[in-house]
C-alpha cells in the first residue's frame, strides 16, 4: 500500500465519541459502510472491513498514545469490558498495534470502547462541528 489518507475515518471516530460519549472501531466500521466513507489510499479506496479496521486502528493509535495531538497526554482512553480487553489495552499502551497479530485479539480489539480523556472533549468542539454538518441526513 502506498500513501493513505484517514482523515475521513478520523472525523467519523471523533464525531462519534463526541456525540455518543464513546465509540468502538467496530461501530465506526459500520458507520463508514453506512456513509460510504472508505479508507483512501494512493492506489484507490478500500471498502472491506479488514482495511477499514486498519484505518481506524491507526486513528486509535494516533489519539490513544502519548505523542498524539495533545502532546502531553492521550486524547482518548479505552473502556475495557473484561480481562481480555484489559490485557490487550495494556499491551497496546506499551507496544502500540504491532503485537496484535492474531485474529482473536484483533476481533476483541475492535470491540473495545474508547472515550475522551478528562478535559479533552472541549478541545474537539471546533473540529467536530464542521464534521457534524457533513453527516447530517
Contacts 24+ apart (CB under 8 A), 98-106: 100/57, 106/53
* 68 vs 123, higher pLDDT: 123
Q: What would the grid cell of residue 53 be?
A: 479496521
Residue position matching grid coordinates 453506512: 34
Please state the domain extents for the chain. 4-135
- Answer yes or no: is pLDDT of 33 > 50: yes
Spatial neighbors of 114 by CB under 8 A, at least 6 apart, are: 17, 22, 23, 24, 60, 63, 64, 76, 77, 78, 79
pLDDT digits (tens, 9 = 90+) for 70-98: 565 688 999 999 999 998 888 887 777 66
- As a whole number, mean pLDDT of residues 93-110 equals 76
- The pLDDT, as a whole number, for residue 137 is 43
pTM: 0.80
- Answer yes or no: is pLDDT of 128 > 80: no
Q: How many other β-carbons are positioned within 10 Å of the β-carbon of residue 134?
A: 12
Amino acid at each position: 500500500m502506498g500513501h493513505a489518507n484517514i482523515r475521513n475515518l478520523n472525523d467519523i471516530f471523533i464525531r462519534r465519541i463526541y456525540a455518543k460519549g464513546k465509540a468502538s472501531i467496530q461501530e465506526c466500521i459500520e458507520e463508514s459502510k453506512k456513509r460510504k466513507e472508505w479508507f483512501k489510499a494512493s492506489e484507490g479506496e478500500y471498502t472491506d472491513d479488514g482495511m477499514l479496521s486498519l484505518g481506524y486502528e491507526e486513528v486509535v493509535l494516533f489519539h490513544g498514545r502519548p505523542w498524539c495531538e495533545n502532546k502531553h497526554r492521550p486524547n482518548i482512553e479505552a473502556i475495557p469490558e473484561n480481562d481480555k480487553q484489559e490485557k490487550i489495552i495494556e499491551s497496546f499502551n506499551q507496544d502500540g498495534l504491532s503485537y496484535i497479530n492474531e485474529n482473536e485479539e484483533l476481533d476483541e480489539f475492535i470491540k473495545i470502547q474508547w472515550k475522551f480523556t478528562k478535559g479533552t472533549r472541549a478541545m474537539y468542539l471546533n473540529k467536530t462541528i464542521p464534521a457534524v454538518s457533513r453527516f447530517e441526513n
